[in-house]
Structure 1
Amino acid sequence: MFKNVMVYRIGAAWAPSVAQVEDGLAQARFVECGATQEKSVGWIAPRGEAHGALVEAVGGHWILKLMIESKAVPAGVVKRKVQERLAQIEATEGRKPGKKETREIKEDAKLVLLPMAFSKQASVTVWIAPAAQLLVIDAASQAKADEVVTCLVKSLDGMAVTPLQTTSSAAAAMSQWLTSQEPPAGFSVDRECELKASDESKAAVKYSKHPLDIDEVRQHIAAGKLPTKLAMTWNDRVSFLLTESMQLKKLAFLDVVFEGAAAQEDDGFDADAAIATGEMSRLIPELMEALGGEVVLG
């Protein structure tokens, strides 16, 4: 259910009911792009059911899903159409269009070509833990996460979120763990890492499927390279790649997590949600503690 997550703190003043969240999201339900529309963003049913609920409550946790559809015409095709039109005007009217008219011709070309463009859809899973006041977004990039946050704040009155901040930066903590070879309690360091210089050279060293308890790694850190990514495992239950921005990438729930789980006759959504939110509800606080605890703003 989650592959790449970013964690945010929800403002304490926001405490709606599931029904209120459902009503807010319903005002921005996803509609596919129109013929000449480049992008459409909106909420869809997390279970994938047509006209289904936009909020799924599982064990006190809320699961949402944002759909983003985009259509793009290759720039080269637009440029060719514009050049053809400019040449036609020059040949028939004996003049060269100015910058403003050229921009208008370009926009017209895009509108003509958009109905023929293929659309691309991508969904983003969102988890809200109201009791813990946490927002978790399954996004691989900061830009995608920012888009989800914007849509949430627009859809849900009074909601305010801030990125989770800890006393120690992830880069500083990872440096200490690699240098001392003493990861925080409950965590282990795995066999993948990226170190990058902070100077203009931006020199980088990457280790993949390689032991990290070696002098070479410590020497790189002593020379000024900082870890930007580090593979870790929490309690032999969840593996992930911690980044310098405290994003968890390549998230994977290990086999022990699923031991004893009952077989599901339905689509398995509830079981998957319960397992994912249950494990992450314990992992996130322990990771925050390993990074020196949360900084409470204000």
Structure 2
Amino acid sequence: MWFKNLIFYRFTKPFEWTSKELEEKLTEKRFSGCGSQDISSFGWVPPLGRHGDMLTHASGDFVMICAKKEEKILPASVIKDALEEKVETIEQEEQREVFSKEKKALKDDILMELLPRAFTKHQKTLAYLDTKEGWLVVDASSFKKAEELTSCLRECLGSLPIINPPLKNLPSAPMTQWLSENPTVPAPFLLGDECDLREPGDEGGQINVRKQELITEEIQAHLEGGMQVSKLALQWDEAQTFVLSDDLIVRKLKFTEMIQDQLDEVEAETAAEQFDADFAVMSLSLRKLINDLVEALGGLSDVSAEA
């Protein structure tokens, strides 16, 4: 359950659905596996897995949800080989050329023929709503994966008034400043041992620094030469370590022993009770992290728009 990545969205108006109402809405798209002719399937499953039936799990102001995706695995090379074999057979037996329009129809037929025999892969995506602070937080390392979940949630609710956090500054600006001359990282953050530097522009060069001291003359020279920080490893309040990207995605999120110490005080007797305790500790800690991170980056602007 512990999140490894964070993509967080800002609600432009208070989330008005109760946990019970949200449960009812999500039930409309409860996950169902792929049929024989389906390429993929997407829907909601219980966050507690086999330990629960509910599609939502509420803890105070937080509500956990979980989406599941099933995809048929059909390598393009397999379809290509089958199509080439089919075209060659037709051309030899009927003594004619197969053109693009017919090839497309043949490809569709081959796809439908292979789908029932294809292997499948499954992937779950956890997310939670912070109804008090107005955040939707998704455990995803790419916007594509996060937007699959938000699109499904929007479809269930009819609307989902969220936007990417409207920061006053581009994240790369304060991140670069934190490593520049006389570097000062806002408390309670500390620098880690990893960063990526990038020159402005699509064709600009990039330097990756791993497991090294970041306040060095070499890095200062690159920054003075116009390079900007695009990724930066940080530690927050001795509770989490992570890598922040200039697109505001938090990756490689790890919880420290301090968080484990809080959980050691909980006497959970069932898997459901342990999940509830983990969720409560994680969500409260991440609420503080997100709020501190937004403040450290310069805060939110007053601009808002309904999604």
| Closer/same/farther in 2, CA of residues 51 and 257 from structure 1, 3 Å limit | closer
Deviation readout 1:122-154 (Å, 9 max, x if unpaired)? 110011011111100111111111111111111
Please say if 1:84 is aligned against 2:85. yes
The match for 2:125 is: 124
Q: Take 2:249 and 2:291, find their aligned partners in 1: how far apart are those partners? A: 14
Q: Give the count of matched residue pairs.
A: 298
Deviation readout 1:90-145 (Å, 9 max, x if unpaired)? 12222112211110100111111112211111110011011111100111111111
C-alpha displacement at 1:57, in angstroms? Answer: 0.2
More divergent stretch after superposition (171-180 vs 83-92): 83-92
Query: Is the Cα contact below 8 Å between 2:14 and 2:131 reproduced in 1?
Result: no
Q: Take 1:212 and 1:13, find their aligned partners in 2: how far apart are those partners? A: 40
More divergent stretch after superposition (263-272 vs 64-73): 263-272
Q: Take 1:258 and 1:186, find their aligned partners in 2: how far apart are those partners? A: 19
| Closer/same/farther in 2, CA of residues 70 and 47 from structure 1, 3 Å limit | same
C-alpha displacement at 1:13, in angstroms? Answer: 4.9
The match for 2:248 is: 246
The match for 1:148 is: 149
The match for 1:42 is: 43
Please say if 1:278 is aligned against 2:280. no
| Aligned equivalent of 1:262, options 243, 266, 271 | 266
Query: Is the Cα contact below 8 Å between 1:45 and 1:51 reproduced in 2?
Result: yes
The match for 1:186 is: 188
Q: Take 2:201 and 2:285, find their aligned partners in 1: how far apart are those partners? A: 38
| Closer/same/farther in 2, CA of residues 58 and 246 from structure 1, 3 Å limit | same
RMSD: 1.4
Query: Is the Cα contact below 8 Å between 2:14 and 2:134 reproduced in 1?
Result: no
Q: Take 2:257 and 2:172, find their aligned partners in 1: how far apart are those partners? A: 29
Aligned AA for 1:102?
A: K
C-alpha displacement at 1:259, in angstroms? Answer: 1.6
Query: Is the Cα contact below 8 Å between 2:141 and 2:250 reproduced in 1?
Result: no
Query: Is the Cα contact below 8 Å between 1:14 and 1:158 reproduced in 2?
Result: no
C-alpha displacement at 1:269, in angstroms? Answer: 0.7
More divergent stretch after superposition (201-210 vs 272-281): 201-210
The match for 1:294 is: 300
Q: Take 1:57 and 1:252, find their aligned partners in 2: how far apart are those partners? A: 23
Q: Which runs of 5+ in 2 are unaligned?
A: none
The match for 1:104 is: 105
The match for 1:210 is: 212
Per the alignment, in what secondary structure is the counterpart of residue 165 of structure 1? Answer: coil
Query: Is the Cα contact below 8 Å between 1:126 and 1:138 reproduced in 2?
Result: yes
Q: Take 1:91 and 1:229, find their aligned partners in 2: how far apart are those partners? A: 57
Per the alignment, in what secondary structure is the counterpart of residue 68 of structure 2? Answer: strand
| Aligned equivalent of 2:229, options 195, 217, 227 | 227
Aligned AA for 1:277?
A: S
Query: Is the Cα contact below 8 Å between 2:48 and 2:275 reproduced in 1?
Result: yes
Per the alignment, in what secondary structure is the counterpart of residue 49 of structure 1? Answer: helix
The match for 2:137 is: 136
Per the alignment, in what secondary structure is the counterpart of residue 299 of structure 2? Answer: coil
More divergent stretch after superposition (27-36 vs 12-21): 12-21
More divergent stretch after superposition (95-104 vs 254-263): 254-263
More divergent stretch after superposition (51-60 vs 257-266): 257-266
Q: Take 1:147 and 1:237, find their aligned partners in 2: how far apart are those partners? A: 30
Aligned AA for 2:284?
A: G
Aligned AA for 1:264?
A: A
Q: Take 2:253 and 2:27, find their aligned partners in 1: how far apart are those partners? A: 30
Query: Is the Cα contact below 8 Å between 2:198 and 2:230 reproduced in 1?
Result: yes
C-alpha displacement at 1:158, in angstroms? Answer: 3.5
C-alpha displacement at 1:36, in angstroms? Answer: 2.0
Q: Take 1:13 and 1:255, find their aligned partners in 2: how far apart are those partners? A: 34
Deviation readout 1:233-267 (Å, 9 max, x if unpaired)? 11111111110011111111110122243242222
Q: Take 1:31 and 1:51, find their aligned partners in 2: how far apart are those partners? A: 17
1:1-12 alignment, distance < 5 Å:
1-12=2-13
Q: Which runs of 5+ in 1 are unaligned?
A: none
Q: Take 2:48 and 2:204, find their aligned partners in 1: how far apart are those partners? A: 43
Moved over 6 A (4+): none
